Structure formats: structure tokens, C-alpha cells
């Protein structure tokens, strides 16, 4: 056959080799393409994971440099592990950036500059006035700073009267009277006068009275409407509406 049809045999052999070559290329090409796609997909996946991680970190961090939506001022021995802890968690869960100082100062210690800066750089200050609030120099100094920011920069101050009457805060009666009797002689008259004035100012503001709202029981506090209002205001920056907000 080869002798009779040399050209045909040659062409047949060449065609067979070309066919095998194409099959080999076809087998290699998809593998190379699949590998390339896999590498690209892996890169995209890692990129998405990195973006997701960055986004999560960003949402948990303060908005801007040392800027906060809310500053929480409170007496730790009264409310840190109860009311304030619940309030803080509800605010954070709503996406609100909150400054909460977890370091309780001892009697006579001066409030650190960082706390005063945090108050100045917050949109809303929430002092939680409780039985032993006035026994803390630091709490009183924080309150003075909040009132100054309210007057000078328009910061919203939303007080919560936790198991105390606003009248006792305004006129320094009950535990507040006891606290100032203790402070008298240990602190300057100028400081004491500032603290009393700040208490009078904050007691004249509309706020949340725990005894009227929840009968003094933590489980009865309706955090939802309170937190929702703050969240809406911080998102829209229409903070002046909070001055007329009643819980």
C-alpha cells in the first residue's frame, strides 16, 4: 500500500500526528485555563476577605480622629455593671460610636485630659446621675465640661436620672447633700460652686427618670425607642431635635 500510494500514506501519517497534537493541546489548554481561573478566583476571594475585614474594623472604630457620637458619664460603683453596661451594649449594637471610660478614678484624683477631649469631641453627652454620682470629683468635672460644651458648641446633653429625683440633683438634697458636705473643706470653693451650678443646669434639662419610666427596675427599661432616637439623630446630624425629646 505504501509503495502504491506514497503520497496518500504520507498525508495519512501527517494527519494522524496533527490529530494527536491537537488532542494533547486540547488537554493541556483547559488545565492551564482552569489553573489560571483558580488562581484569579483565589486572589479575588482573598481581596474580598481583606475588604470585609477592613470594613468591619472601620465600623468598630471611632468615626474620625477621637470623634464619638456619644459620651457616657457615670459613677462606676453605681451603674457600671448594670444599667450603663446594658445601655452601652444597646448603643453599640445600633452602630453608635460610644466613649465609655472603664477606669474608675479614686477620690481626689484629677480627671485626665483624654476624658475632657472625648467630651468635647462627642455629639451627645449622657450623664447617668445616680446615688453616689456627686461623691466623685471626676464625675463632677466631667459634668462641668458637658455643660460648657452645651453652651459653647451646642452639644446635646441628655441626662438620665437613675434612681434619683431631679429635684434632689438640682438642690443637692439627699445623697447629693451628703456628698457636698463631705467635699466641703477638701475642695476649693470655686470648684464646689462650679459643680453645684453644673448640677442645677443638668437637672433643668429634659431627660429620663428611671423611677417614672421603669419603677427603678433595669428589666423594665425600654432601651429601644431611646437608642433609636439617638441613632437617627447621629446619622442625620439633626441633634437639636433631641433637646425637645421626652422619653
Distances (CA, A) of 180 to 133, 164, 176, 187: 11, 16, 6, 10
Q: Which of 104, 110, 142, 178 is catalytic?
A: 142
- Extract the C-alpha cell encoding 26: 486540547
- Extract the C-alpha cell encoding 32: 492551564
DSSP letters along 36-64, please?
A: HHHHHHHHHHHHHHHHHHHHHHHHHS-SS
Closest-CA residue to 227 (of 122, 126, 131, 149)? 126
C-alpha span between 72 and 124 (Å, rounded): 9
Distances (CA, A) of 193 to 3, 32, 190, 203: 124, 81, 5, 15
Burial (CB count within 10 angstroms: exposed 0-12, middle 13-18, buried 19+), residue 153: exposed
Active site residue 109: no
C-alpha span between 46 and 39 (Å, rounded): 11
Q: Which residues are catalytic?
A: 142
Amino acid at each position: 500500500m505504501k509503495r502504491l500510494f506514497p503520497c496518500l500514506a504520507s498525508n495519512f501519517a501527517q494527519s494522524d500526528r496533527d490529530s494527536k497534537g491537537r488532542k494533547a493541546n486540547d488537554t493541556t489548554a483547559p488545565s492551564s485555563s482552569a489553573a489560571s481561573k483558580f488562581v484569579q478566583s483565589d486572589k479575588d476571594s482573598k481581596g474580598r476577605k481583606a475588604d470585609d475585614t477592613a470594613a468591619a474594623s472601620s465600623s468598630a472604630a471611632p468615626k474620625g480622629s477621637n470623634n464619638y457620637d456619644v459620651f457616657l458619664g457615670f459613677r462606676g460603683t453605681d451603674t457600671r455593671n448594670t444599667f450603663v453596661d446594658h445601655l452601652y451594649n444597646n448603643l453599640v449594637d445600633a452602630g453608635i460610636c460610644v466613649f465609655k471610660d472603664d477606669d474608675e478614678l479614686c477620690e481626689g484624683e484629677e480627671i485626665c485630659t483624654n476624658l475632657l477631649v472625648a467630651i468635647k469631641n462627642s455629639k451627645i453627652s449622657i450623664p447617668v446621675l445616680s446615688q453616689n454620682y456627686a461623691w466623685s470629683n471626676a464625675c463632677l468635672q466631667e459634668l462641668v465640661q458637658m455643660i460648657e460644651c452645651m453652651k459653647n458648641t451646642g452639644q446635646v446633653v441628655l441626662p438620665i436620672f437613675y434612681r434619683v429625683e431631679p429635684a434632689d440633683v438640682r438642690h443637692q438634697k439627699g445623697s447629693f447633700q451628703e456628698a457636698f458636705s463631705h467635699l466641703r473643706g477638701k475642695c476649693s470653693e470655686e470648684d464646689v460652686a462650679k459643680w453645684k451650678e453644673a448640677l442645677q443646669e443638668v437637672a433643668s434639662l429634659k431627660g429620663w427618670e428611671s423611677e417614672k419610666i421603669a419603677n427603678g427596675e433595669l428589666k423594665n427599661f425600654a432601651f429601644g425607642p431611646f437608642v433609636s432616637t439617638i441613632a437617627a439623630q447621629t446619622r442625620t446630624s439633626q441633634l437639636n431635635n433631641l433637646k425637645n425629646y421626652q422619653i
